[in-house]
Amino acid sequence: MHVAIVDDNASIAQMLKMQMEMRSFDSSVFECGPPFLKAVESGSRFDIVLLDYMMPEMDGLAVFQQLQLLHVEVPVIMITAASKLELAVTFMRMGGADFEIKPVLDYDILEQKIRRATRYHQLRNELARVRRRHDALSDISPVGIFFTDLKGHLLAVNQKFRWMADVPATTAADDIQWQQSIHPLDRVTVRNAWQRLIDRGDLFSLDFRFLADDGRVTWVLGQGARMVDGHVGILTDVTNLKRVEAELVTAKEVAEQARSAKVQLLRNTTHELKTPLAVIIGFADYLKQALERTVQHGGPPDKRILEYTEVLAQNARILERLIDDLLDMHRMEAGHLKLKRERICLTEIIHAVAMGMRPQLTPGVQLRIETPREKMSCDRCLVYADPERIKQVVGNLLKNAIRFTQQGEIVMRTLVTPEGVTFSITDSGIGIPSEMHENIFDAFVQVDASDTRASGGAGLGLSICRSIIELHGGRIFVHRSELGRGSEFRFVLPCDLAEGGQDEKSADCR
Of the residues 280, 306, 333, which one is the last residue of a structural domain? Answer: 333
Q: What is the mean pLDDT of residues 172-190?
A: 88
Classify residue 130: in a domain, yes or no. yes
Residue 421 pLDDT > 50: yes
Of the residues 191, 222, 237, which one is the last residue of a structural domain? Answer: 237
- Check residues 307 and 270 and name the one with the higher pLDDT: 307
> For the chain, what is the domain count?
4
Would you state the pLDDT for residue 193?
A: 93
Chain mean pLDDT for the chain:
82
Share above pLDDT 70 across residues of the chain, in percent, rounded to a whole number:
80
Are 275 and 211 within one domain?
Answer: no
Are 147 and 8 within one domain?
Answer: no
- Classified as helix, coil or strand, 417 is strand
**pLDDT digit string, tens, across residues 325-341:** 666 666 666 676 788 89
Neighbouring residues of 47: CB distance < 8 A, sequence distance ≥ 6: 1, 2, 3, 74, 75, 118
Residue 151 pLDDT > 60: yes
Would you state the pLDDT for residue 306?
A: 61
Are 253 and 207 within one domain?
Answer: no
Classify residue 382: in a domain, yes or no. yes
Classify residue 157: in a domain, yes or no. yes
Lowest mean pLDDT among 21-25, 66-70, 77-81, 474-478: 77-81
Are 131 and 145 within one domain?
Answer: no
Are 166 and 187 within one domain?
Answer: yes
Would you state the pLDDT for residue 345?
A: 87
Are 129 and 150 within one domain?
Answer: no
Three-state DSSP string of 201-257: CCCEEEEEEEECCCCCEEEEEEEEEECCCCEEEEEEECHHHHHHHHHHHHHHHHHHH
Question: Looking at residue 88, which CATH number applies to its domain?
Answer: 3.40.50.2300
Are 293 and 354 within one domain?
Answer: no
Of the residues 192, 208, 237, which one is the last residue of a structural domain? Answer: 237
Q: What is the DSSP letter of 442?
A: S
Classify residue 500: in a domain, yes or no. no
Lowest mean pLDDT among 32-36, 263-267, 282-286: 263-267
Q: What is the mean pLDDT of residues 259-268?
A: 66
Classify residue 505: in a domain, yes or no. no
Would you state the pLDDT for residue 510?
A: 33
Q: What is the DSSP letter of 301?
A: P
Classify residue 504: in a domain, yes or no. no
Residue 296 pLDDT > 80: no
Q: What is the DSSP letter of 7?
A: -
Would you state the pLDDT for residue 457?
A: 53
Domain of residue 79: give its range: 2-137
Classify residue 416: in a domain, yes or no. yes
End-to-end CA distance of the chain: 100
Are 58 and 160 within one domain?
Answer: no
Q: What is the mean pLDDT of residues 203-213?
A: 92
Would you state the pLDDT for residue 264?
A: 67
Distance CA 178, CA 210 (A): 9
Would you state the pLDDT for residue 240?
A: 92
Backbone φ/ψ region at 457: left (φ over 0), alpha (ψ -120 to 50), beta = left
Distance CA 39, CA 63 (A): 13
Question: Looking at residue 326, which CATH number applies to its domain?
Answer: 1.10.287.130
Residue 320: how many other CB atoms lie within 10 Å: 11
Q: pTM for this structure?
A: 0.42
Lowest mean pLDDT among 33-42, 75-84, 116-125, 264-273: 264-273
The strands making up 231-237's β-sheet, listed across from edge to edge, are 154-157, 144-148, 231-237, 217-226, 204-211
Residue 148 pLDDT > 80: yes
- Check residues 447 and 106 and name the one with the higher pLDDT: 106
Are 163 and 48 within one domain?
Answer: no
**pLDDT digit string, tens, across residues 457-469:** 556 788 888 989 9
Please give the C-alpha separations between residue 492 and each of 413, 423, 498, in angstroms, as whole numbers: 12, 6, 17
For residue 354, which of 423, 412, 421 has the smallest C-alpha distance? 412
Q: What is the mean pLDDT of residues 480-490?
A: 90
List alpha helices for 368-447, DSSP H. Answer: 375-379, 387-404
Would you state the pLDDT for residue 444?
A: 64
Neighbouring residues of 391: CB distance < 8 A, sequence distance ≥ 6: 349, 352, 353
Would you state the pLDDT for residue 85?
A: 80
Element of type H or E holding 487: strand 487-493
Residue 81 pLDDT > 50: yes
- Classified as helix, coil or strand, 300 is coil
**pLDDT digit string, tens, across residues 343-356:** 988 888 999 999 98
Do the bridges between strand 342-345 and strand 382-385 make them parallel or antiparallel, or are there none, so unpaired?
Answer: antiparallel
**pLDDT digit string, tens, across residues 353-390:** 999 888 889 898 999 998 655 444 556 678 889 998 89
Would you state the pLDDT for residue 117?
A: 92
Spacing of C-alpha 361 from chain mean position: 50
Residue 506 pLDDT > 70: no
Are 463 and 348 within one domain?
Answer: yes
Question: Looking at residue 460, which CATH number applies to its domain?
Answer: 3.30.565.10
Are 67 and 131 within one domain?
Answer: yes
Question: Looking at residue 207, which CATH number applies to its domain?
Answer: 3.30.450.20
For residue 314, which of 265, 266, 268, 359 has the smallest C-alpha distance? 359
Residue 223 pLDDT > 70: yes
Are 353 and 487 within one domain?
Answer: yes
Radius of gyration of the chain (CA): 47
Inter-residue contact 185 to 175 (CB < 8 Å): no
Would you state the pLDDT for residue 418?
A: 81
Three-state DSSP string of 78-139: EEECCCCHHHHHHHHHCCCCEEEECCCCCHHHHHHHHHHHHHHHHHHHHHHHHHHHHHHHHH
Classify residue 451: in a domain, yes or no. yes
Residue 289 pLDDT > 70: yes
Do the bridges between strand 366-370 and strand 231-237 make them parallel or antiparallel, or are there none, so unpaired?
Answer: unpaired
